[in-house]
Amino acid sequence: MSTKRQKELALLREKEWRKCQASFPYFFSTYWTVLVPDRGIVPVDVRAPQIESAQLFQSEKRIVVVKARQIGWSTLITAYLFWKTYFFDNMPTMALSRREDPEAWMIISNIKMGYQNLPQWMRARGPGQITDNKTEVRWNNGSCVESDSSKDNPARGRTFAVLVLDEFGKMPNPDDAWGSALPATEYGQLIVIGNANGYGTRWWRLCDAAKRKLNNFAYRFYPWNVVPHRDAEWFERETSSMLPSERAAEYPENDVECWVQAGNPVFDVERLRLYPTLDDGFVSDEPEVDGTYTVWEDPDPKHHYVIGMDVSLGKGEGDYTVVNVLCVETGKHVAEWRARRADIIKAADRATEIGKHYNDAWLGVEINGVGEGVLNRLREENHYPNLYFRKTWNRVAQTQVIKYGWDTNRITKHQIVAELQDRLFSGEVATTHQELITEMMGYRYLADGTMGGLPNDDRVMSMAIAMRLWYEHGDNIGEAKNPEPPQWGTLEHHVIQEMGEQFFHNYYAEQDDSRFTMNGDTSGRYAYSPT
């Protein structure tokens, strides 16, 4: 080849390089390759929605994409991370996946394959590869692509030019991943991709806000039929064995119904979407207190109130301690306190303050887990005068005994959740709290047959407990208070110290002592008088 021809070819290749550098859509559609099982390594079959997203990737800093499965977006993301690091210097990038290593390895493997199948001149023109392992590709221009699972939150404390959260809705720790993603991309690009996973989740809130242009994220939705060969017959064949929730998540047709069904919801989401709420109608808000305290109605001295309390120390994903207050006479939801990391003392003291403020409200504490510790402080230290307790049968003593607190188990949980929905839709109980309604939308049947929210269900449970207290004992609210604790030095106090409180209750129940009497079968509540 003549020198002149060599110079012309070199000039053409340099122009082509700069054209690829200037346009990711062009590079992707011209040079990227994929492995197709029955065809081998072939040029990518580019579709119009992929080109649209490719343009979006190059132009927007914040992006969310809700999509059907197997429509080519993993290929697009892989190519984009390669392009960003290969054509530009000092570009650290990372893709976080929902699963362990195999899913992360696939991105790196496909980047290496795409690189190996570039034209020889382009590989010679670009930076050299300086690493060869399963989790990263590094070039000698200072750029790199890392790929990892989100399990251990590898993005925390770091900075990226591009960070991709893949299958965000299915990550085991979306709160932690999100908490590290924003600071990690303060000056970079954040791309969040996934399938619908039900109302009320962090993923839904992000997408909903982006769709309504309430945040700075560009929004796109791509249904199952963006792939040309997919028709109704194909859809039925592929999804016939799926549950409705699986079908809605994996192969959505529109971006409304997919969220309704994808989470396998417990509550009627369509009715909840129409439920009238007015979150800005509260009377007062006290941001200076621990947690968030919202009041829609101040206490009426002529009314009685009940409180449901769901307790958590906030160590797990998305766990909160929540106090919800209902008015007995009106059925209105009048106040809520919610705190992420309230210890036992703080939770008990705050519940005491709120309960006393609402006319010594009848307080039902869920005793599962750390709830028993909160209950003990309410009784023994705070001497809260109106705690929920119930009659149970002691098989050893062959008598009824008192147990404080609300016991949530598989049976009672289903009961109170179903009753909450019925009474909310019937109008017997009413709320204006949009966050509660949203959490109910995200409350779902889980794979093991239980129910729960992803990630939160604390508002639902505290409200369900309050509703049960309102429903079962509303007519008797205010008629009786809790048994007073035995005074120091009395026989009763000695018995409790030596033999335990349960023995004390059993003894007086067996003796039918006049000092320990039941205030009516309908309430199931006892009053104790040491005199």
Could you tell me which residue, 313 or 315, shows the higher pLDDT?
A: 313
| Residue 341 in this model has a pLDDT that exceeds 80 | no
| Residue 317 in this model has a pLDDT that exceeds 80 | no
Residue 369: what residue type? G
Average per-residue pLDDT in the chain? 81
Q: Which residues of 486-518 are buried (b: 16+ CB within 10 A; e: fewer)?
A: beeeeebeebbeeeebeebbbbbbeeeeeebee
The stretch 305-325 carries a mean pLDDT of: 81
DSSP letters, 51-113, are HHHHHHHHH-SEEEEEE-SSSSHHHHHHHHHHHHHHSSSS-EEEEEESSSHHHHHHHHHHHHH
pLDDT of residue 105: 76
CA distance 102 to 107: 9
Give the CB-side neighbour count of residue 2, counting CA atoms within 13 A.
3
Residue 419: what residue type? E
CB atoms within 10 A of CB 134: 12
Q: Which domains does the chain have, with CATH numbers?
A: 3-264 (3.40.50.300), 279-475 (3.30.420.240)
Straight-line distance from the first to the last Cα atom of the chain, in angstroms, rounded to the nearest whole number:
114
Using CA atoms, how far residue 213 sits from 216, 274, 379, 429, in Å, is 7, 21, 49, 33
CA distance 322 to 345: 14
The stretch 180-190 carries a mean pLDDT of: 91
| Residue 153 in this model has a pLDDT that exceeds 80 | no
CB atoms within 10 A of CB 339: 20
How does residue 279 score in pLDDT terms, banded at 50, 70 and 90? low
Output Rg (C-alpha) for the chain, integer angstroms.
30
How does residue 488 score in pLDDT terms, banded at 50, 70 and 90? very low
pLDDT in tens, 210-244: 998 999 999 999 999 888 888 899 999 988 888 77
Using CA atoms, how far residue 93 sits from 26, 108, 165, 530, in Å, is 21, 12, 11, 71
Using CA atoms, how far residue 146 sits from 49, 58, 78, 82, in Å, is 26, 19, 11, 11
How does residue 502 score in pLDDT terms, banded at 50, 70 and 90? very low
The stretch 64-79 carries a mean pLDDT of: 89
Percentages helix, strand, coil for the chain (3-state, rounded to 5) are: 40, 20, 40
Can you give the length of the chain in residues?
A: 531
Using CA atoms, how far residue 399 sits from 392, 502, 518, 519, 522, in Å, is 8, 12, 13, 17, 18
pLDDT in tens, 381-421: 999 999 998 777 677 777 777 888 998 888 888 889 999 99
pLDDT of residue 325: 97
Most confident of 119-133, 186-200, 242-256: 119-133
How does residue 300 score in pLDDT terms, banded at 50, 70 and 90? very high
Identify which of 181, 191, 190, 192 has the alpha carbon closest to the alpha carbon of residue 157: 181
How does residue 246 score in pLDDT terms, banded at 50, 70 and 90? confident
CA distance 49 to 225: 11
| Residue 293 in this model has a pLDDT that exceeds 70 | yes
How does residue 445 score in pLDDT terms, banded at 50, 70 and 90? confident
Could you tell me which residue, 257 or 506, shows the higher pLDDT?
A: 257
Q: Where are the alpha helices (DSSP H) in 315-360?
A: 344-357
Most confident of 109-118, 426-435, 482-491: 109-118
Structure tokens at 154: 């590898």
CA distance 302 to 285: 23
pLDDT of residue 516: 37
pLDDT of residue 298: 93
pLDDT of residue 92: 96
Cβ-contact 218, 210 below 8 angstroms: yes
CA distance 83 to 115: 10
| Residue 518 in this model has a pLDDT that exceeds 50 | no
| Residue 88 in this model has a pLDDT that exceeds 50 | yes
pLDDT of residue 474: 54
Identify which of 252, 281, 66, 61 has the alpha carbon closest to the alpha carbon of residue 160: 61
Residue 453 has phi, psi (to 5 degrees) of: -105, 150
Residue 457 contacts by C-beta under 8 Å, 6 or more apart in sequence?
Answer: 439, 443, 451
pLDDT of residue 260: 67
pLDDT of residue 403: 84
How does residue 104 score in pLDDT terms, banded at 50, 70 and 90? low
Cβ-contact 373, 367 below 8 angstroms: no
